Amino acid sequence: MSDKLKNAKIIFVVGGPGSGKGTQCEKVVAKYGYTHLSSGDLLRAEVASGSERGKNLSAIMQRGELVPLDTVLDMIKEAMIAKADVSKGYLIDGYPREVKQGEEFEKKIGPPSLLLYIDAKSETMVKRLMKRGETSGRADDNEETIKKRLDLYYKATEPVIAFYEGRGIVRKIDSEGSVDDVFSNVAKAVDSLK
Ligand SMILES: Nc1ncnc2c1ncn2[C@H]1C[C@H](O)[C@@H](COP(=O)(O)OP(=O)(O)O)O1
Ligand SMILES: [Mg+2]
């Protein structure tokens, strides 16, 4: 476990692609002063940098697959340490994608206090992603890759929720409503940490 992050409040934000994780995290940042770390955004920044590591990642992400565990975790940890002095807590968005990633995170960084499970129906997620794809410029916001990402989500990520349910830290948030309705429930969950 890392020293600088020893007492950090950590929230895992888990949900399917397009469920609204990023949208809700931005609102938590504004209201609570948390630091939002999206593993996908960190990876996309690496790709945009044009580095050799980025080129490898780019191919994997375009196939809708998961990138190697150590790569993502190192990037998250670096970003957390960089913010350790100013952050009220951390939103870890889109990670863990599979149970093993959660276990490694806890070994290298520490345990989460809460897991926000952002839950939307798969039709809703597809609809939102297709719409987002009109402007996002994301190589994975297309119909074929969306289907693969959803399949992988149900197979690999849903077990993550079951794993943390065993510890009693999961708060399930219905994400079918408007952004503000969803946020009112997110805020209740975050408030419960204080
Ligand atoms: N409650 C909501 N109602 C309608 N649209 C929403 C919504 N939450 C998010 N969206 C929109 C914003 C994005 O264009 C798209 C995906 O949201 P996102 O926050 O990028 O999802 P994620 O980060 O989980 O992939 O859906
Ligand atoms: Mg996102």
pLDDT in tens, 138-181: 999 999 999 999 999 999 999 999 999 999 999 999 999 999 99
**Ligand 1, atom 16: closest residue by C-alpha:** 18
**Residue environment code for 86-120, b if the CB has 16+ CB neighbours within 10 A, otherwise e:** ebebbbbbbbbbbbebbebbeeebbebebbbbbbb
- Ligand 1 pocket residue status of 18, Cβ below 6 Å: yes
What lies within 8 Å, CB to CB, of 16 at 6+ separation is 120, 122, 125, 149, 150, 153, 154, 157
Q: What is the pLDDT of residues 56-112, one digit of tens each?
A: 999 999 999 989 888 899 999 999 999 999 999 999 998 999 999 999 999 999 999
> Which residues sit with Cβ closer than 5 angstroms to ligand 2, an ion?
22
- Model-level ipTM above the cut of 0.90: yes
